Amino acid sequence: MSLSTKTLSLRLRPMTEADLECVLAVEEAAYAFPWSRQIFSDCLKVDYSCWVGELSAAIVAHAVMGIAVGECQIFNLCVHPQWQGRGIGRSLLHHLLQVARQHGAKTAFLEVRVSNSIALALYRSEGFCEMALRRGYYPAAQGREDAMVMALELTGSPSVPSLLTEEEGGKGQTYP
């Protein structure tokens, strides 16, 4: 299991406008070119599937995904650098894929910086395949950086392994 259940209890819940200050703090700590508050606000307004991951009520991760026409697109999956390498990103990815399946998505897509070897390894280990290279997709310190487009077929495959349990009252999800 990639998440240390002895020391961490990750709670996933839908993101709200009230979370954006904390979400931005995580985003800015993790990325040299972070999303703006307006981008997150717009994602909430258009009803994308937006989630936060909390440890002891502190937001340490977030994700944004669109679902339409039998596909999902993972736009952003971010874990605060202090909490990376503990299975939080994998747990959040599992949750996104479960939500996508529940909404009828048959394929998941995402883009990732070619320099992000940790994320690439995560996505490959979860069965994502490299589909294409988008040249100059991301801003970078020295010009632009390529993005790897990856995809995962969600149909005909077993359910994504999940540690999800319903919380009392049905609000959010908790990873023990």
How confident is the model over 115-140, as pLDDT tens digits? 999 999 999 999 999 999 999 999 99
Q: Could you tell me the two tokens for 152?
A: 């995962």
Summarize pLDDT for 26-77 with one digit per residue, the tens. Answer: 999 999 999 999 999 999 999 999 999 999 999 999 999 999 999 999 999 9
Catalytic: 123? yes
The mean pLDDT value for 150-161 works out to 71
> What local confidence, expressed as pLDDT, does residue 174 receive?
43
What pLDDT, on a 0 to 100 scale, did the predictor assign at position 79? Answer: 98
Name the active-site residue from 48, 123, 138, 175: 123
Q: What is the pLDDT of residue 8?
A: 74
Superfamily of domain 10-157: Gcn5-related N-acetyltransferase (GNAT) (3.40.630.30)
Q: What residues contact 32, with CB distance under 8 A and at least 6 apart?
A: 140, 141
* Ligand-binding site membership of 76 (annotated): no
In 10 A of CB 18, how many CB atoms?
A: 7
